[in-house]
Every structure is written in C-alpha cells, then in structure tokens.
Amino acid sequence: GFAAAADWFASLDHAALREHEQALYAACTAGLRQVPGLRLVGTAPERTGAISFVMEGAHPADLANILDMEGVAIRAGHHCAQPIMDRFAIPATARISFGCYSDQEDVDQALAALHKAARLFGLG
C-alpha cells in the first residue's frame, strides 16, 4: 500500500499542487479573519498547508468537537510545540490543514462551522 501511495504522490504535478494549496491557504486565512473572536497564531508570509488559531472564550478541544459535528476535522492541542506555546502563554491552538485532496468547498464548510461556533460562544 505504501509503495502505491508513494508512486501516486510522485506522479502529481507538484508545482500545481503547491499553487492549489496556496490558493486554499489564502482563501481560508482571509475567511478566518472574518470570524468573530478568532485570532490567527503564526502569520509568516510564506506559509501553506496548516493554519493555527484560537477563539476567544473557547478551548481548542471544544472547537474541534463543534466542527466535528459539522463534518469538519481539525486538530487541537499543543501540536508538539509546547515550549514555544509556553513562551507565548498559549495553552493550546486549533489547527486546520489542507492537502492535495482539499478543495474550496472544504474551506467554505470549515468557515461556516467556525462562524457557527463563534455564535455558540456568543461572539457573533
């Protein structure tokens, strides 16, 4: 199975894949900035793939559960970065990520779910 997956991945147009992921990242980042109470964590200019964030008054695990009920999978926790999170007094973040299998519909669904979560937490 791994060999087949490696062959499939090697067959992809990696320049097109990077462009695709960058477009999703840009669309998602712009949308996240519109979610009430949400703050992006880490905004380096040359990024793609994963976006970390926190929401005012909401634990990232609670966000993950709410989004799960909306059909959106995210990660929550310290993501093996606990020392830097301690340094910046961030106990945990939520993280959404994209890959070659993701599309704009995935971004739209995640943003809608996050707006719903914001309303549930009284933020919008």
Cβ neighbour number for residue 64 with a 10 Å cutoff? 18
32: which residues sit within 8 A by CB, 6+ positions away? 38, 40, 51, 53, 111, 114
Is residue 28 annotated as part of the catalytic site, yes or no? no
> How far apart, in whole angstroms, are the C-alpha atoms of residue 56 and residue 117?
11
Alpha helix locations (H) across the chain?
2-11, 14-32, 60-69, 82-87, 104-120
Catalytic residue among 80, 87, 89, 101: 80
> How far apart, in whole angstroms, are the C-alpha atoms of residue 32 and residue 28?
6
**Residues that are catalytic:** 80
